[in-house]
Amino acid sequence: MEVKGANALTFSRAVGCSTALVGLTLVTAVAAWIGMTGPFAGTGDWPGAGSNLAGVIAAVLVVALIVFGSFRPLVNPLAGAVFAVAQGVLLAWLGTAFDPVVPGLFVNGLFGTALAGLAVLLVARTRLGRPAALLSASGAAVAALALAGVAARAAGSDTGLFGSGDGFPWHVWVVVLILVPCTAYAFGVDVDVVKRYAEAGAPARYTWAAAVGVTAGLTGMYAWRFFAGLTKGYSDGSPSGASDDGYADGGGGSDSGGSSD
């Protein structure tokens, strides 16, 4: 059943919620990275025990919510916030843990993808065409990452983006310049999916499920599973799902604490 009016999912609100979650992921990742390389840094090459514990807990939460979201749409904004925070800690932990292997590569690659995703969402509601929007988002993400590297270096830290006495880290820049456009394109595809289902009349209670689906793109290819609850049984705008609203509601919805705004 196509939903219209106040009870319908709107593209603007879904993108706004997605932006909030990706922004929360990025802020959490920065805070966690500062903690893991500062107060909770290990005495050797690997992160300290506190950092490892936080990283493992974050990984478990991310995987658990991905699996849960495969069967029940995560319509509760609190679940979305928990996922974003856990994802941020996980990204910071991975960047810190693998930094001794190839200094600067993982941390800049991971933060670059997060910035690219956020940039795509920020330009999603502009009048820019898709190629221009993705190009602008990619450029903004690279510029923001470079500025963050400069700021970190000025503060006495080093993200490995500009190197030290061992020469300029060209390999880090190559990876960043590959990952950022790829991430921008992937987020652009996810945003288009949300737009199509908003136009098809998806219920508003799936707004946060869609937002978590977009945000999950930062942790890999399993993002599509979050869309499963939103899109299952809905093809080409024609509802044929198992629930009375035309969507396969895995038990979520406002009755489960989700938002119906």
pTM: 0.75
Per-residue confidence (pLDDT) for residue 41, from 0 to 100:
57
Low-confidence ranges of the chain (pLDDT < 70): 1-6, 38-46, 156-168, 220-261
User: How far is the C-alpha of 5 from the C-alpha of 13, rounded, in Å?
Assistant: 13
pLDDT score of 104: 75
pLDDT in tens, 121-130: 988 878 777 7
Q: What is the pLDDT of residue 236?
A: 41
Instruction: Give the tens place of pLDDT for each residue, 182-230.
Output: 888 888 888 888 888 888 888 888 899 999 988 888 875 434 444 444 4
Euclidean distance between CA atoms 141 and 218, whole angstroms: 14
**CA angle in degrees (0–180, nearest 5) for 44-47-49:** 100
DSSP conformation class of 47: P
The mean pLDDT of the chain is 76
What's the chain's length in residues? 261
Domain residue spans in the chain? 15-256
Q: Coil, strand or helix: which one is 61? A: helix
What's the confidence (pLDDT) of residue 40? 55
